[in-house]
Amino acid sequence: MSRRPLTAVLVAIAMPTFAGCAGGGAASGGTATAPSDPDRVSGTVKVLTNRTDLVQDGTMKKYAREFNKIYPKVTVAFEGITDYEGEVKIRMNTENYGDVLLIPSVIAKGDYPKFFAPLGATGEMAKKYRFTDKTDVGGKTYGIANFGTAGGFVYNKALWKKAGIGDWPTTPERFLDDLKAIKEKTGATPYYTNFKDGWPLTTPWTNGIGSVSCDAKAADALATSHRPWAAGSDLHVIDTLLHDIVHEGLSEKDPATTNWERSKVLLAKGEVSSMLLGSWAVNQLRDAATKAGENPDDIGFMPFPTQKDGHFCATLLSDYQQAVNVHSEHKEAARAWIDWFTEKSGFTDKEGSVSALRAKGMPDTLKPYLDNDVRLIERSEAETALVNAIDNASEIGLTKQDYRQKLIDIARGAQRGTLQGYFSELDERWADAAETAGS
């Protein structure tokens, strides 16, 4: 079973507030310091993970055995949780939520010190790690990225070639024209929304904020914007493209019957041409192609169809962040696991993901971007807390499926309304919420 990462579920620019959770009482304090002498580190640490597949197939135990070659006195136990967000947020009403865990998106950034031990000063951490501003609170970093991912479309190169398309589309209009050519010349479904599963309508599309404008601070700008869906804005371009794909009949016929696992096989076999996901999905689609008896090299990756000054841009974003339970009795051992897993395990190489380590280069999955001078934008999250507050107050849910499912329903005529009318409604709700949130 393939588990999707946070970047296919939620993006950190709009995390809902985790109300009513006391974390089992006051924080016990103490920094989770990186150990200097492995032989002096001991204890048993429980690691909570959403990767149930890696727990079930023994992969995590293999990692632990390698870890123990350096830290022989530390015992690492794993718990894979299918409904990670739902179950962990309940556990965090107590002090018993593992020693190492992936920070649930439901926790407001400002509450991190209540639940997690600081890992170090952000100024120093940022020299070594990418994405530190995601968990920076008061100058301290509370999590290290599990991995990073770049936004873009996974597509079947052989199918696009069959339709006579050689170059990446540089505008949304060109992209739509290419999808029409695929439909006319191959009979394949040009685009697959994964409407029923929902999550492919959330983060993959919202991650485009910054890619369109090639602006690392585009998400921060939502904190002061009263019209995020105004013509020319990132969200206007992003959501207009999704609407038009559906409105032009270029997506699956019945959105209510989509299936994520099946969609990978459909794309691998050339029955579907493209899906907006992220670089994390490339290896999963290649694996699906191999299992289906297809050529994994047919799986390609292209940036969002817009350019700035003649260049494509793609946001580079963090997945879940690994953190240490502030109540853990073995913080040093917990930090040892996080550091080893980040630096020595080889996990990101195997997954084809971007390492949190700045010294480590980009993965092979991003070779098409590097070869074609796509600019990777590490998006700022300095205003996450305020954007979070506005999004919650507006009840839009930038990282929830509802508002884009409504967008698709409007596009296919299942709900009344127009695209511009819907954008006006969203802008009005955002503006009202910005006033109450203090923007």
Which of 331, 361, 391 marks a domain boundary? 361
Which of 298, 330, 361 marks a domain boundary? 361
Give the CATH number of the domain where residue 142 resides: 3.40.190.10
Residues 118, 230 within the same domain: no
Q: What is the pLDDT of residue 8?
A: 43
Cα gap 345→398, rounded to integer Å:
33
Overall average pLDDT of the 298-312 stretch: 97
Banded pLDDT at 29 (limits 50, 70, 90): low
Helix residue ranges per DSSP H, 6-121:
52-56, 59-68, 84-91, 112-115
> Which tokens hold the place of 100?
């190492």
For residue 23, is pLDDT > 80? Answer: no
Residues 201, 306 within the same domain: yes
Banded pLDDT at 175 (limits 50, 70, 90): very high
Banded pLDDT at 58 (limits 50, 70, 90): very high
Residues 311, 402 within the same domain: yes
Residues 222, 338 within the same domain: no
User: Mean pLDDT over all residues of the chain?
Assistant: 91
Task: Supply the range of the domain harboring residue 275.
Answer: 150-318+362-439
pLDDT in tens, 93-116: 999 999 999 999 778 888 999 999
Cα gap 185→114, rounded to integer Å:
57
Residues 126, 217 within the same domain: no
Q: What is the pLDDT of residue 4?
A: 55
Instruction: Tell me whether residue 1 is in a domain.
Output: no
Residues 330, 393 within the same domain: no
Ranked by mean pLDDT, the top range of 9-13, 392-396, 424-428 is: 424-428
The number of domains in the chain is 2
Among residues 24, 36, 14, 45, the alpha carbon closest in space to that of 323 is found at 45
Q: What is the pLDDT of residue 439?
A: 45
pLDDT in tens, 369-382: 999 999 999 999 88
The answer to whether 250 and 176 have CB atoms below 8 angstroms apart is yes
Residues 439, 300 within the same domain: yes
Cα gap 339→36, rounded to integer Å:
12
Residues 177, 65 within the same domain: no
Residues 400, 357 within the same domain: no
Among residues 284, 286, 302, 287, the alpha carbon closest in space to that of 191 is found at 302
Overall average pLDDT of the 201-213 stretch: 93
Cα gap 263→251, rounded to integer Å:
12
